[in-house]
Amino acid sequence: MLFLVLSGTGYSQTTNTDSLEQVFQNSPTYKERISACKLLSTAYLIRDFDACLSAAKAGAELAEAEKDHSSLGELKKTIGMAWYFKGVFDSAANYYYKALDVLKDPEEELQKAGVLNELGKLYRKTRDLDRALQNYDEAFAIYKKRQDDNGMATILNESGVVFEYKEDYAEALDRYQRSLALREKMNDKVGQGYSLNFIGGVFTLKKDFVQAEKYLIRSLDIRRQLKDSFAIALNHADLGFMYTESGMYDKAIEQYGISNAIAMKLHYPDLLLGNYRELSSIAEKKGDPKLSLELFKKYNAIKDSVFSGEKLKQIEQLNAKYQAEKKEQQLKLQKAELTKKNYLLWGLILGIAMLVLAGFTFYRKRRIQMELKMQTELMKQQDLATKAIISAEENERKRIAADLHDGIGQMMSAAKMNLSAFENDLPFKDADHKAAFERVISLVDESCREIRSVSHQMMPNALLKSGLASAVREFIDKIDHRVIRINLYTEGLDEKLDSNVETVLYRVIQECVNNVIKHSRAGSLDISLIRDNDGISATVEDNGRGFDTSDKQQFEGIGLKNIISRIGYLKGTVDFDSAPGKGTLVAIHVPL
């Protein structure tokens, strides 16, 4: 993977930060102070991210006190970029959306486009490619309307990366070449360096290593002339990737070493993350598993700090909030327009007495229609937000299940193989000694099975392949029948349902069964799943100790709340019939 940031922008590393600090601290005029602060934070952005954060936050406080929205939006974007380069993506998203909230004036459109570009880059990093393209397209439309060649060239480069990820190399190469043409027209050396680097990257992915090396070396030469150490580090990483793909591992290791040295100095974890992953792969290919494992551990340590599930979830929530606010703003504009029309209508009514009744009737009808439209749109946005949160949860389950199965599971299997290989070489003192060794192997083997079981529960293969009925049956078959006897009856589920419906119903049934096992002390459990013309009906009934359904505290737990909210998302109903000592019946109906 290529390492692509700050495309189309050039930050001079020769900026005199000391003199800018003096102006910011001592200048008597706000205009000089804020201008110095913006230049200072920009200069620090490719040298020292913490210094950039400090300078930009100080400037943001100053701009907010002066109600300078333009400068405030620009500085919030810079803060977001610093957090992005530090690998704290949830904080980056937070500041980008804060910048968009500030930049409302039509004269601030170009600044808004810059923020949308950074958001596109962030969603590209988290692999939400459609949302990345949505932000890039919105930014490109602004630049095109303003005839801003620099902005259009930047977006062509950035959006080209998305098509690389989609493996549409022809579209990616076309965008990079269009960007290069604009940069040459502008005589922009910094921008040419990025475009050449991107083109080289596409040729690497296409396995045309001669062309790839030519473009990457041209890009590196330009960046050396500009003394841009930040971009140079990216170039060496891309050369390392190209040499790895061509099988020239020693050259690749040399390039990654240079890139890492600069990345460590800049405290740039995202670049180190990719470099360690590639170096681990190279060590494995060269037959050095010990070194490969050490490098992989470094990669995992950085990855865990950068791509935590909670951070990605917060980014998703920020986007949902921004989209909701955006729709609310549009609705306010519509309402303002409606009010204007109402004033005109009342004027006509007052002027033409004979049309009072007709005009009043028209007004009421129009108002009711608009209110219904507003309510419908609001409900639609709420549904989309709920779906986004549930989707984020399921994606996180998939990621954790994959990590357990493909990461830890494989390492445990390798450990078992290595222990088994040692068995014939170890001199056992006696039969007890050998039995103890075999128990160790049994423990490792049991751990492997447990990891597989957990990963399959988080994202069962049967749900993905065969549908809801098979997934539920596979789930209950894994429960010890000595603990509880479970009967399952299904009808009309021969065909797969919508994936969202299947996923939600599976999670709800899974939660119900877990609640019975944990709390009910039941000896038997009956589950039925029936599909008919009205929808799907599901019942989960146990003979346990039951509970008082009139006690609201019983419904304050996360488990029952999840059941109710998930079925509500499907526009279904859920009823609880229970009493102390009389068991519990959970009845669910979901319309299709």
pLDDT band at 199 (very low <50, low <70, confident <90, very high): very high
Q: In terms of domains, do 437 and 551 share one?
A: no
Instruction: Summarize the confidence of residues 241-250 as an average pLDDT.
Output: 90
Instruction: Summarize the confidence of residues 271-275 as an average pLDDT.
Output: 84
Q: In terms of domains, do 395 and 358 share one?
A: yes
Q: Select the more confidently predicted residue: 30 or 351.
A: 30
Q: In terms of domains, do 347 and 431 share one?
A: yes
H helix or E strand, kind and range, residue 276 = helix 269-285
Nearest CA-CA partner of 335 in 296, 301, 375 = 375
Instruction: Summarize the confidence of residues 362-377 as an average pLDDT.
Output: 80
Range of the domain at 551: 461-591
**Hey, which of 72-76, 415-419, 459-463 has the most confident mean pLDDT?**
72-76
Q: In terms of domains, do 352 and 439 share one?
A: yes
Residue with tokens 């979830």: 313
Q: In terms of domains, do 444 and 312 share one?
A: yes
* % of the chain beyond a pLDDT of 70: 80
- The predicted pLDDT at position 67 comes to 92
Instruction: Determine, yes or no, domain membership for 219.
Output: no
Nearest CA-CA partner of 388 in 488, 326, 313 = 313
pLDDT tens for 80-119 read 999 988 888 888 889 999 999 999 888 999 999 999 999 9
Instruction: Determine, yes or no, domain membership for 21.
Output: yes
Instruction: Determine, yes or no, domain membership for 142.
Output: no
Q: In terms of domains, do 476 and 502 share one?
A: yes
Q: In terms of domains, do 93 and 21 share one?
A: yes
Is the separation of the CB atoms in 509 and 548 below 8 Å? Answer: no
Through-space distance between the first and last CA atoms of the chain, rounded to whole angstroms:
42
310 has a pLDDT exceeding 50: no
Q: Select the more confidently predicted residue: 153 or 6.
A: 153
Instruction: Determine, yes or no, domain membership for 489.
Output: yes
The token pair that represents 217 in the structure block: 């070396």
pLDDT band at 355 (very low <50, low <70, confident <90, very high): confident
Instruction: Determine, yes or no, domain membership for 152.
Output: no
H helix or E strand, kind and range, residue 588 = strand 584-591
Structural domain total, the chain? 3
482 has a pLDDT exceeding 90: no
- The predicted pLDDT at position 2 comes to 35
Is the separation of the CB atoms in 126 and 312 below 8 Å? Answer: yes
Q: How far apart are CA 312 and CA 304, in angstroms?
A: 12
Is the separation of the CB atoms in 511 and 497 below 8 Å? Answer: no
What's the CATH number where 36 sits?
A: 1.25.40
Q: In terms of domains, do 329 and 415 share one?
A: yes
98, 120, 147 - which closes a domain: 98
Q: Which of 134-138, 143-147, 375-379 has the lowest mean pLDDT?
A: 375-379
Q: What is the mean pLDDT of the chain?
A: 81
pLDDT tens for 531-579 read 988 889 999 999 999 888 887 777 776 678 778 888 887 889 999 998 8
What's the CATH number where 468 sits?
A: 3.30.565.10
Q: In terms of domains, do 356 and 430 share one?
A: yes
Q: How far apart are CA 497 and CA 485, in angstroms?
A: 28
Q: In terms of domains, do 376 and 484 share one?
A: no
Q: How far apart are CA 258 and CA 479, in angstroms?
A: 54
Q: In terms of domains, do 439 and 489 share one?
A: no
Instruction: Determine, yes or no, domain membership for 7.
Output: no
318 has a pLDDT exceeding 60: no
Instruction: Determine, yes or no, domain membership for 292.
Output: no
Q: Select the more confidently predicted residue: 397 or 174.
A: 174
Nearest CA-CA partner of 2 in 198, 255, 178 = 198
Instruction: Summarize the confidence of residues 447-462 as an average pLDDT.
Output: 62
Is the separation of the CB atoms in 128 and 93 below 8 Å? Answer: no
427, 459, 491 - which closes a domain: 459
432, 459, 486 - which closes a domain: 459
Instruction: Determine, yes or no, domain membership for 104.
Output: no
Q: What is the pTM of this model?
A: 0.45
Is the separation of the CB atoms in 374 and 335 below 8 Å? Answer: yes
Residues present in the chain in total? 592
Q: In terms of domains, do 445 and 312 share one?
A: yes
DSSP at 553: G
